[in-house]
Amino acid sequence: MSIDKPPAPDFEDLFDGAPCGLVVTDEDGTILRSNRIFSLWMGISQDALTQRRFQDLLTMGGKIFHQTHWAPLMRMQGSVAEVKLDLKNASEQTVTMLLNGVRREHADGVYYELALFGTTDRDKYEREIVEARQRAEKLLWEKTSAEAALLQAKVELDLAYEKSQQRAFFAEQMVAIASHDLKNPLTAIKMAADLLVRGARSPRDTELLGHISQSSERAQRMIADLLDFALARVGRGIGITRRTVDLHMVIERSVDELRVAFPQARMIHKQVGVGMAEVDSDRMHQIVGNLVANSVAYGDLDQPITVMSTLQGDMAMLSVHNLGNAIPESSLGSLFEPMTRVSELDTDLRSVGLGLFIVREIAKAHGGDVAVNSTNEMGTSFCVSFPRTGTPPPIDAPPC
């Protein structure tokens, strides 16, 4: 029993209904025949396409490429494959197509058989590939840059660590020098001066011995500041020993001693509140001494310097106020940094620029801080506030 095969499709129908553009031209490019889909892509009827030259449908760039590349290749090798061309349709819009062509010689002449494929999906796919590659290259560049930045940061961190180690070593050396090579001889000088003052001396000798004693005290204060600065820089911080004391009495003793040290200044001590506080008395002396020395150096000595000790709730406060020129606003931001001076005036009261830094560090060691307010009208006031005990202050603690 034989099975009848379906009839083969008509070749004319295959040509006209092919899913790609099909064009037959003679050797000079004149279109002899085209199929329906090519006519649809171009927006030109099949009859109108007949007798037009294929290269006339190309863009200017396509015409140049046709003349210089694919037409010579067709003549030399008889075929081309996957040539990308831009054509202009009836609406003058560019249509990109991929062309495969074959040159065939017949008895009546030479013909070019062209198959054209739309590239919209292919172009989209290629763009996606290009964009994906660009994203990958960008990510690789960012990764490489991040690694380079990380390596550079590590190098800089290593250098910074090495420098900090060198600074720490230098600070420790400075502590040793100040402790042994300076502090002890100055103590001996002061003691000798004090002993000589007790004997019968001329007024001139007494004056000179007073200068020696005051200079040695000033040098000792500077050494004490350097020692505290070195310890703070090394990372050990300023140590304190808390004891329960009458804060007003501690500050009163400090003011009495400072009246002797600075006879040219008039000092007033005001007390607010009553009670005790857990503080390091020596450090309280240091705070008041540094702030008063600062007032003597930069304030108006025709006006009194007011030292106020305050006990209010859970907080304790020490303030030193003087009249005179205000601190420049540009200096307020760095006022408590080491080696900082408000003025470059060359006076006997100038320090190495550590006094306010030490005041702040002592305040922090007590769980507090220091603030400054300075105007030409109201004068300059430094205020140190800290909890009366070793516990942190309440949120609503009164400010300076």
Q: Which domains are present in the chain?
A: 11-118 (3.30.450.20), 125-232 (1.10.287.130), 238-387 (3.30.565.10)
Q: Identify the residue whose tokens are 């009827």.
A: 45
**According to the model, what pLDDT value does residue 123 have?**
66
Closest CA to 66 of 42, 97, 43, 35: 97
**According to the model, what pLDDT value does residue 57 have?**
93
Higher pLDDT, residue 208 or 374: 374
Strand pairing partners for 244? 278
Strands 243-245 and 277-279: antiparallel
Half-sphere exposure of 331 (CA within 13 A, CB side): 15
The tokens for 30 are 């004149």
Alpha-carbon span 331 to 379, nearest angstrom: 16
Closest CA to 371 of 398, 343, 344: 398
Secondary structure (DSSP) of 131-192: HHHHHHHHHHHHHHHHHHHHHHHHHHHHHHHHHHHHHHHHHHHHHHIIIIIIIHHHHHHHHH
Residues composing the chain: 400
| Residues 131-165: tens digit of each pLDDT | 888 888 888 898 888 888 899 999 899 898 888 87
Residue 121 buriedness (CB in 10 A; 0-12 / 13-18 / 19+): exposed
Query: How many other CB atoms sit within 10 Å of the CB of residue 374?
Result: 21
Query: Which residues are CB-neighbours of 201 under 8 A, at least 6 positions away?
Result: 209
Is residue 233 predicted with pLDDT exceeding 90? no
The tokens for 88 are 């202009």
- Dihedral through CA 26, CA 29, CA 33, CA 37, nearest 10? 150
**According to the model, what pLDDT value does residue 346 have?**
45
The tokens for 247 are 């804060």
Q: Out of 186-195, 238-247, 332-341, give the one with best mean pLDDT.
A: 238-247
Across the chain, mean pLDDT equals: 82
**According to the model, what pLDDT value does residue 399 have?**
57
Is residue 214 predicted with pLDDT exceeding 60? yes
